[in-house]
Structure 1
Amino acid sequence: MWKSHPKALPYLFLSEMWERFGYYLMIGIFTLYLKDVEAGFSMTEKEASDLYGTFIALVFLTPFIGGLVADRYLGYKKSIIIGGLMMGVGYFMMGIHSLQMLYVAMTLVIVGNGFFKPNISTLLGNFYNEEKYKDKKDEGYNIFYMGINVGAFICNFFGAALKILFGWQYAFMAAGVGMFIGVLVFMLGSKYYGNKAEKKGVQPGDMPFYKIVLFILLPSVVFGVIGWLLKGVQSDANPDSALFGSDSTDAFIFACIPVVLFYASLYFKAKVEDKRPIGALLAIFGVVILFWAVFKLNGSALNNWGDKYTDRELTGTSQRVASRLVLTDTLTYKKDSVPLYDEVFRIQKKDGEVIKTVDYPLYFRNVHKDKLPEEGGKVFTWSANLSQSINPGWVIMLTPLVVAFFTFLRNRRKEPSTPTKIAFGLLISALSVLVMVAAVKAGNNGAEKVSVWWLVANYGIITIGELFLSPMGLSIVSKLSPTNITSLMMGGWFLSTSIGNKLSGVLASMWDTYEDKSHFFWVNFALLLFATLLFVLLRQLNSVMTEKGIK
């Protein structure tokens, strides 16, 4: 497999695999850690989801700047190493039980990811620009994408075992170790990178960096500060008087205003021949925001569903195997300790202090009375963060099938255009949400736990949508962007991902406000169904592709 590809590919594959091992291990336990009463920060679902949304939004915002800095000043090798080391240190610091240290750690991960993620993908592409490897480019990226998902799949098993054996801090340390291994592997391949890892410098037609700072970054910071300081009407439902639910959400929304206006200005100032391609990209950016808003619920609302609403009990052989692998939590049932079912699973707080702690496993609160153990009985449950491995597991299994499907259509000259694939990806993703609506009904609106197969089915369907949409996004940006602003338009893709990630946190923070949990998922379905309006624009989008001589 490797012989027909650049010699750098195995090193880049393994570097990305270990980097994603660390990142997804951290993401898999992040909200669970924030909500832990004893060893975490006893945050409510709203607080944890809001912080999670802000975090992953900023993680996908910094690659725009990191890519430009690497392109013009640092080069790819230095940027990747710097970014990897920053992320590794950040993961280690997350295990320190201090809110201030947590914020510092998150900042390191956010900035480090900006240097690492875009540049390792760009470096890989540099090798496949050579004539002898051009026909292997798609295959090379498929191999690379597999590395991402192998790391994302296996990491949660390590995270579960270390959390159960030693505590949260050791799980975060494992994420850091994974990141450092990724950096080491990357450095071991240095002799194969040659001049492909060097900076390009400022190219003719590139927007000067000072203009990017003056017209994008500086206004964004100023607007963000204004958003943080502005207050709305204080009420019981909005004690902090935030305009959009929280100060961080206000700041993020306001910070996006000058950036969105800047991208709109690119369309109005473009040459006549560039207007339609830029307009097509901006339309796609707009709809994929809604895809990421729903897809990224995997680390918040769906993680919560796996934790509190899914039957995780193991018995017999499966329990013995999981226990030996240290993947099970042991829970003791105390009859009449607390009500069996607490509708919102909320920790009561006052002025930031916990006034009611729960020394009783929340797991039992919605177990059907016929399935409850005897007083003092023990049950074994698989660790909640393991549900985060379902999506990458599906990606590993479904990627070859999706690739084969499109190859089959291509050979018969029936392969759909890239915009059509994206539109169908949105529709398929919308259908996945209906699975969760059915899961809520099956569990009597959370009064009883449901099978994990509901989550498996949901992730399976939305993964097909992901494979139709996500790989196509960067592809269409590279195909349609005017050559002098390709980097800026790539930044637009990351911006849409970032806004979608933040919207995901906002959606998840509203979980407790829905008495009927199916309404939460109906809202998500409606958002994705609205995004499928892209089908209305397909004729125009496909005509733009034809004009550019691409499919």
Structure 2
Amino acid sequence: MLAKHPKGLKVLFLTEMWERFGFYTMLSVLVLYMTHVFGWDEHKMGQIYGLFLGFVYFTPLIGGWIADHILGYRRTIMLGAVTLAVGYSMLAVPNTTALFFYFGLVVIVIGNGLFKANISVLVGNLYPEDSPLKDESYNIFYMGINVGALMAPFAASFMRNTFSFNAAFAIAGAGMVISLITFELGKKYYLLEGAKPSEKPVQEIRLSKKQEKERVVALLTIFAIVIFFWMSFHQSGFALTLFADRSTKQIISPELYQVFNPMFILILTPVIVWFFALLRKRKKEPSTPGKIGIGMFLAGLAFSIMIVASLKGGNLDNGALSPSWLISTYFVMTIAELFLSPMGLSFVSKIAPERMRGTMMGGWFTATAIGNYLSGFIGSFYGTWRHSTFFAVLVLASLFSAFLVLLLLKRLKHATRSKIDKIEDELEAEALV
């Protein structure tokens, strides 16, 4: 699967894998740490957790701007990696005060903002303009994210139960150090001056103001649409977990259902990559915006399963339903995620003007941040609405977003046309005049 890709993709895959391992190891024990060490109640923990995650996904917008205008991608990523390692190390300090804990979270937010969007930009920069491998590369890169996410809960649980919470945070810091070392040692494979000729991206052609505006509008449109996906998707940590706890037989511990998503990603990514390659060979591969639209439709399908599950008895919260309902939902939702999330990263890489590529990638994560916030807002109605009604709202939101993509597909596809093709078209038009 990696043979036809630049070696730099392997480096960035491993860099992101270890960074995500560190982040999700920390996140796996964060709420438990606040409960057992500080004794805070759900309301206070919810506020801290929500603000933390919101800023984690908002700050890449700032980090992208810094990379675009001041430091460049590599130096910004390096600074972010060091900052993240420091933040995790601060949480690893035993017998700390609440103020020091807050400061540690702030440091992690800053580090993530510098790191997150910019490494995604580097993936796209490995490929020439309009490379058919770019979508596939982001699927592979996304698999790296989920390898780290899958390992993290097990590492966090082992370290916490064997040693302490602080040991779990220390392992998160160690993962970040490995990520930093991997990124530095592999720099010759992802830097332009160190790449082989076949791995070097072609030079960008300067866009006109009109072309830039068209592309930015297309990106902002996609950002607005995918907010509804993330609002629905992140019910995995809220409504779906409550459904597992209250409506499902306790064959599987409720928190362990979240392992299914990264596990399915590892299983399904090679299948999705193969499927798209087959369609590409037959010249039937959907456009990147088209894949995003399909992802939104599949998200609606996933929550349709939950409507049926609710009507089958889930509304009663009597713990009588089979786990297969939730597992099936996670399976379809994972396919939706693979159609949408890596494709969103690829879409930004393909059409964002070069001078604002980091900022636009940060915009993608800002949309995620808004979706995260809305997931909590809509999730607050889970206990007051019938569960079937709650999931129906998510289905409608997903299908509405899919319809918007379909409605705007021609315009979005036009924005992804080659810069070279567009310039040639304009020159031909001028010649005719």
Structure 1 stretch 299-308 or stretch 497-506: which is displaced more? Answer: 299-308
SS at match of 2:338: helix
The within-5 A match list for 1:182-261 is 182-190=179-187
In the other structure, the counterpart of 2:172 is 175
Q: What is the alpha-carbon distance in structure 1 between the residues aligned to residue 49 and residue 174 of structure 2?
A: 22
Among 143, 156, 159, the alignment partner of 2:156 is: 159
Q: What is the alpha-carbon distance in structure 2 between the residues aligned to residue 51 and residue 510 of structure 1?
A: 20
Q: What is the alpha-carbon distance in structure 2 between the residues aligned to residue 538 and residue 136 of structure 1?
A: 21
In the other structure, the counterpart of 1:121 is 120
Among 440, 445, 448, the alignment partner of 2:319 is: 448
In the other structure, the counterpart of 2:425 is none
SS at match of 2:316: coil
In the other structure, the counterpart of 1:108 is 107
1:467 aligns with 2:405: no
In the other structure, the counterpart of 1:528 is 398
In the other structure, the counterpart of 1:13 is 13
In the other structure, the counterpart of 1:301 is 239
Cα 1:300–1:55 change in 2 (3 A) is farther
Q: Shift in Å at residue 112 of structure 1? A: 0.5
Among 51, 55, 71, the alignment partner of 2:52 is: 55
Q: What is the alpha-carbon distance in structure 1 between the residues aligned to residue 168 and residue 146 of structure 2?
A: 19
1:284 aligns with 2:282: no
Q: What is the alpha-carbon distance in structure 2 between the residues aligned to residue 137 and residue 169 of structure 1?
A: 40
Encode CA deviations 1:97-142: one digit per residue, 9 max, x unaligned. Answer: 65433322221111101122223333344444599xx676555544
Cα 1:271–1:152 change in 2 (3 A) is same
Q: Shift in Å at residue 460 of structure 1? A: 1.0
In the other structure, the counterpart of 2:198 is none
In the other structure, the counterpart of 2:289 is 419
Encode CA deviations 1:358-392: one digit per residue, 9 max, x unaligned. Answer: xxxxxxxxxxxxxxxxxxxxxxx75x543322111
Cα 1:156–1:500 change in 2 (3 A) is same
Cα 1:546–1:119 change in 2 (3 A) is closer
In the other structure, the counterpart of 2:371 is 500
Q: What is the alpha-carbon distance in structure 2 between the residues aligned to residue 521 and residue 101 of structure 1?
A: 40
SS at match of 1:302: helix
Q: What is the alpha-carbon distance in structure 1 between the residues aligned to residue 16 and residue 6 of structure 2?
A: 16
Q: Shift in Å at residue 431 of structure 1? A: 1.5
Report if the CA contact (8 A) 2:82-2:180 is conserved.
Answer: yes
Q: What is the alpha-carbon distance in structure 2 between the residues aligned to residue 296 and residue 437 of structure 1?
A: 17
Cα 1:445–1:175 change in 2 (3 A) is farther
SS at match of 2:375: helix
1:87 aligns with 2:25: no
Q: Shift in Å at residue 426 of structure 1? A: 0.7
Cα 1:430–1:472 change in 2 (3 A) is same
Report if the CA contact (8 A) 1:289-1:496 is conserved.
Answer: yes
Task: Choose between structure 1 and 2: higher helix proportion.
Answer: 2
Report if the CA contact (8 A) 2:246-2:318 is conserved.
Answer: no
In the other structure, the counterpart of 1:336 is none
Encode CA deviations 1:392-413: one digit per residue, 9 max, x unaligned. Answer: 1111111122222222222333
SS at match of 1:451: coil
Report if the CA contact (8 A) 1:28-1:385 is conserved.
Answer: no
Encode CA deviations 1:208-266: one digit per residue, 9 max, x unaligned. Answer: xxxxxxxxxxxxxxxxxxxxxxxxxxxxxxxxxxxxxxxxxxxxxxxxxxxxxxxxxxx
Unmatched 5+ stretches in structure 1? 198-202, 207-269, 314-380
In the other structure, the counterpart of 2:268 is 398
Q: What is the alpha-carbon distance in structure 2 between the residues aligned to residue 3 and residue 546 of structure 1?
A: 27
> Which letter does structure 2 place at the counterpart of 1:113?
N
Cα 1:98–1:302 change in 2 (3 A) is farther
Q: Shift in Å at residue 287 of structure 1? A: 1.0
Report if the CA contact (8 A) 1:395-1:463 is conserved.
Answer: yes
Q: Computing the radius of gyration over CA atoms, which structure comes out larger, 1 or 2?
A: 1
Report if the CA contact (8 A) 2:16-2:145 is conserved.
Answer: yes
In the other structure, the counterpart of 1:43 is 41
Q: What is the alpha-carbon distance in structure 2 between the residues aligned to residue 204 and residue 413 of structure 1?
A: 26
Encode CA deviations 1:55-78: one digit per residue, 9 max, x unaligned. Answer: 222112222222332344334443
Q: Shift in Å at residue 3 of structure 1? A: 6.7
Q: What is the alpha-carbon distance in structure 2 between the residues aligned to residue 75 and residue 480 of structure 1?
A: 19
Report if the CA contact (8 A) 1:31-1:299 is conserved.
Answer: no
In the other structure, the counterpart of 1:538 is 409
Unmatched 5+ stretches in structure 2? 195-203, 423-433
Report if the CA contact (8 A) 1:440-1:518 is conserved.
Answer: yes
Q: What is the alpha-carbon distance in structure 1 between the residues aligned to residue 221 and residue 366 of structure 2?
A: 13
> Which letter does structure 1 place at the counterpart of 2:109?
I
Report if the CA contact (8 A) 2:121-2:361 is conserved.
Answer: no
In the other structure, the counterpart of 1:359 is none
Q: What is the alpha-carbon distance in structure 2 between the residues aligned to residue 137 and residue 476 of structure 1?
A: 9
Structure 1 stretch 535-544 or stretch 2-11: which is displaced more? Answer: 2-11
Cα 1:303–1:177 change in 2 (3 A) is farther
> Which letter does structure 2 place at the counterpart of 1:448?
G
Report if the CA contact (8 A) 2:228-2:401 is conserved.
Answer: yes
Report if the CA contact (8 A) 1:50-1:505 is conserved.
Answer: no
Q: Shift in Å at residue 195 of structure 1? A: 6.0
Q: TM-score by structure 2 length? A: 0.80
In the other structure, the counterpart of 1:65 is 62
Report if the CA contact (8 A) 2:215-2:415 is conserved.
Answer: yes
Cα 1:485–1:137 change in 2 (3 A) is closer
The alignment's C-alpha RMSD in Å is 3.6
Q: How many residues align?
A: 409
Q: What is the alpha-carbon distance in structure 1 between the residues aligned to residue 89 and residue 323 of structure 2?
A: 31
Between the two structures, name the one with larger relative contact order (CA 8 Å, sep ≥ 6).
2
SS at match of 1:60: helix
SS at match of 1:284: helix
> Which letter does structure 1 place at the counterpart of 2:223?
F
Report if the CA contact (8 A) 2:146-2:262 is conserved.
Answer: yes
Encode CA deviations 1:30-77: one digit per residue, 9 max, x unaligned. Answer: 44555x4x4564433x65444433322211222222233234433444
In the other structure, the counterpart of 1:409 is 279
> Which letter does structure 2 place at the counterpart of 1:280?
A
Report if the CA contact (8 A) 1:126-1:196 is conserved.
Answer: no
Encode CA deviations 1:478-509: one digit per residue, 9 max, x unaligned. Answer: 43444554444333323222211221232334
Q: What is the alpha-carbon distance in structure 1 between the residues aligned to residue 402 and residue 379 of structure 2?
A: 22
Q: Shift in Å at residue 414 of structure 1? A: 2.4
In the other structure, the counterpart of 1:518 is 388
Report if the CA contact (8 A) 1:50-1:509 is conserved.
Answer: no
In the other structure, the counterpart of 1:25 is 25
* Identity across the alignment (%): 42
Q: What is the alpha-carbon distance in structure 2 between the residues aligned to residue 160 and residue 308 of structure 1?
A: 23
Cα 1:51–1:458 change in 2 (3 A) is farther
